[in-house]
Structure 1
Amino acid sequence: MLWRFQKLKNRTLAMENKIAIAIHGGAGEDSEFIRRNLGVYKAGLREAVLAGYKILQNRGTALDAVTAAVVSMEDNYLFNAGKGSALNIEGNVAMDAAVMDGKDIRAGAIALLSHAKNPVEVAKAVMVQTNHVLLAGEAADDFAESMKLPQKEQSYFKTEHQQEEYEKAKADSVSQALKKKNRGTVGAVALDGYGNLAAATSTGGMPGKLAGRLGDSCIIGAGCYANNHTCAVSGTGDGELLITHVIAHSIAMVVELKGLSLQQACDYVVHKKNAEIEGDIGVVSVDRNGNIGMAFNSERMHRAWMDRNGNVQSEIY
């Protein structure tokens, strides 16, 4: 009888609590490629946010919802994550991803992944199946294979657009290639019906990046953070800036210590605290009450969200 009562109680909580989800598909400079594909980008954003929201509606967890949303974008060739990842200076794909569960402050991350079809699922497996937080390189690929997660040849990830970006980067000096703001990251944050928060972030990095370079997407507290007591955050933009200024965790700390609303916290961290920094920073976030916060200082940030009332919106500029 007790287990039946607890099951009924959990279902009641799932029905009473609000759910919310927000995603991003990268921030940075505008481009002709983006303008030419605006409609397709928005359709991809809506498809991804709906994939996550459907799980929340069916009383699934925030962790499963953000994973599903990110998988949708990793499978979409337009986004720089999974299929469609940027090529490094050697012409190879090396992907990073992370997930974090705000319920018990657990996280999993992978870096320099070369063959796993969906890096975010590998990051989730690291969190669930190991005692570690971050695996990198060949070991990460070996782990993904041991978990029987889908594998792909490098050719699967390389799109015509990213090949063109690589050729442009190769024509520049290394320093000039790394200064260009062709950023691309995908991410999601969610609140489930049980009051739990989660975040996920995934990227192929920047075109022409040095071999071995890690961005913020796999660094907990930089591009990915979740804590039930404050908020969940996924970041995008210049990875080095998100790492050195610990952007995702900073937003959570501002919420906790300064008592600001989530949107005020996002604006403060992006537009005030780091106002003097030269570079792109963008975030999407959600708090334990289902409030959604977003901020970016770049020309565009691909984003979509479904708020606690079930309204869906997608924007780029």
Structure 2
Amino acid sequence: MRKLQTLGLAAAMAFGIAMAAPSASYAKAADTGSVKQNTFAVGPQYDTTHVYVAPEDFDKFTDSFVATFGGHKSQQGVFQVTPTPSQTMSQLVFTPAGTISVFGFKTPIPYPFGQERTGYLVSDMDGAMQSAKAHGADVIVDTFPDPIGRDAVISWPGGVHMQLYWHTKAPNYDALETVPENRVYVSPLRANALIKSWVAFSHGKIVSDNHSAPGVEIGRPNDTFRRVRLTSLYGNMTVLVTDGRLPYPYGHEMTGYEVKDLDETLKKARAAGVSVLAQPVTSDQRASAIVQFPGGYIAEIHAAAK
């Protein structure tokens, strides 16, 4: 029994969620507002960005992330979190601006783990997988069991890899203060297919579709590009449609975190050893910057423009 509980905690931490009291059913969690229940989403507070760092950088990274955004960390451990043999340090970091799952592999990372950018909790694994495939997703790692649920890795048009996971008992997390955005860079050839597939699967909507967004947002102030903002019960997604000619560090940031005060957040970040790779710019009524945390994780941070 103790071994099973340990494995269960390992799987839970690996796929972006810790074991918690099941105070709400999946059906209730998924049937929120005007979103149809068969979206299979549970809520953005259960969605995590997957961050892979070297074991020696693990604590420095998680400490700097909490120092920047606030929040707290789950218990750290070393587990097998993939369907084939491996060992990784694993920990969740909960912040008001979003949750991350952190991995520090002590063994070679089995393919294709490390390529998935996010983990999304779903209310019905079979239903979600059937819907994803029906809406154009490829199955990279077919559904596999863990002691407290099931997991899979899928890919959307444009090569957007993500993990879907399900647990037998629904957890109960507080809502986020701000919902992060999944920042996806794709080519003009695959953008429409990605947007169509994701909106249909998530039962989301297009918030904006700007074909002449200011290029300063991607480090090219003399150009324009297409920027599409999407939202659903899975959270927010920003699709950046480019020719791929991106100056560093643009394209490396997987997630954008919304904060109340960008200057204050960057001050906290610098004090925690975070580097500012792209200085703040103002566009689309937001001020944004790109930073790199100890261990290499690159993220965008933004706030409403003053």
TM-score by length of 2: 0.29
More helix by share: 1
User: RCO higher in 1 or 2 (8 Å CA, sep ≥ 6)?
Assistant: 1
More strand by share: 2
